[in-house]
């Protein structure tokens, strides 16, 4: 499908100085290690995270994990980055550790994650998205793994997070047609976006638009994402 690049939103242009001042690597998410230890105690990839990041985990911490991955990618390093991405994504949400433990029970998870990493490292975002068949891990969360992998691995650096919050900001704040970027579920009472569904072509369109806007604004694309995520709901 053709990927239509939209003009940069006036809202983003007006807020360019604020976006430029953002350092995404400093964005920290607290979590409760004991809750995660209930499910991952004894796993070497968990022990590394618990030892090095016992109270919170930042985007920069996950960048370092991704930079430590060497091709051919080793599964323990991939598992550490994947678990770290889920910890960052769930934070203190109570069901996060249990839900993530179910992800790790996915049949053939090691082959799936290894294939995803190989595809991402070659910039094949569409195929990586299509390959992302992990139990209890939808696009809002596997694109977090894409993003953190891309922070540290050459070839995948254009990857970004796309979740319901960002989709909502696209529709309500930037006033762009969300159907181009995401298939969504809506709150039946308010009509507002409540979740996103699988749409690989839309994700690639999102990446291309965000990179185009970032170039025009002279900022990091993930700074735009973090700026939009941090806006308060109207």
Phi, psi (rounded to 5 degrees) for 201: -65, -35
Mean pLDDT in residue range 23-49: 97
Q: What is the CA radius of gyration of the chain?
A: 17
Which domain range does residue 99 map to?
Answer: 10-230
> What is the helix (H) or strand (E) element at residue 12, kind and residue range?
helix 10-14
Q: For the segment 114-126, what is each residue's pLDDT rounded down to a tens digit?
A: 999 999 999 999 9
Average pLDDT value for residue range 19-43: 97
Per-residue model confidence (pLDDT) at position 227 = 98
Give the whole-angstrom CA distance, residue 58 versus residue 85: 10
Mean pLDDT taken over the chain = 96
Query: What number is the average pLDDT over the span 9-35?
Result: 97
Strands 193-197 and 183-186: antiparallel
**Banded model confidence at residue 29, pLDDT cuts 50, 70, 90:** very high
Q: How confident is the model at residue 3 (pLDDT cuts 50, 70, 90)?
A: confident
| 164 in a structural domain | yes
Number of structural domains (the chain) is 1
What is the crossing angle of helices 139-152 and 59-67, to 10°? 60
225 CB-near residues (< 8 Å, 6+ apart) = 24, 160, 161, 166, 210
Instruction: Give domain status of residue 5, yes or no.
Output: no
pTM of the model as a whole: 0.96
User: Quick one: pLDDT at residue 233?
Assistant: 76
pLDDT of residue 2: 61
Q: Which residue has the higher pLDDT, 158 or 72?
A: 158
- Identify whether 3 is part of a domain: no
Residue 117 lies in a domain: yes
| Closest alpha carbon to 120 in 198, 79, 48, 66 | 66
The answer to whether position 222 is within a domain reads yes
Q: Is residue 123 part of a domain?
A: yes
Q: Nearest-CA neighbor of 161 among 231, 94, 77, 221?
A: 221
Q: What is the pLDDT of residues 155-173, one digit of tens each?
A: 999 999 999 999 999 999 9
């Amino acid at each position: 499908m053709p990927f239509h690049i939209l003009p940069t939103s006036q809202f983003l242009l007006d807020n360019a100085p604020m976006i430029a001042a953002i350092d995404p690597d400093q964005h920290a998410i607290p979590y409760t290690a004991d809750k995660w230890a209930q499910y991952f105690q004894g796993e070497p990839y968990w022990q590394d995270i618990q030892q090095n990041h016992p109270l919170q985990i930042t985007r920069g911490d996950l960048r370092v994990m991704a930079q430590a991955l060497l091709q051919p990618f080793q599964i323990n390093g991939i598992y550490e980055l994947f678990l770290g991405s889920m910890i960052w994504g769930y934070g203190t949400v109570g069901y996060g550790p249990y839900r993530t433990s179910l992800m790790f029970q996915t049949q053939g998870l090691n082959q799936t994650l290894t294939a995803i990493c190989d595809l991402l490292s070659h910039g094949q975002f569409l195929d990586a998205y299509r390959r992302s068949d992990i139990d209890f891990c939808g696009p809002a969360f596997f694109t977090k793994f894409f993003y953190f992998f891309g922070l540290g691995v050459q070839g995948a650096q254009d990857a970004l997070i796309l979740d319901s919050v960002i989709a909502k900001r696209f529709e309500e704040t930037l006033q762009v047609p969300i159907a181009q970027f995401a298939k969504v579920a809506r709150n039946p009472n308010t009509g507002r976006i409540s979740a996103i569904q699988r749409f690989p072509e839309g994700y690639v369109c999102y990446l291309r638009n965000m990179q185009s806007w970032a170039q025009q604004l002279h900022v990091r694309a993930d700074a735009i994402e973090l700026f939009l995520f941090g806006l308060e709901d109207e």
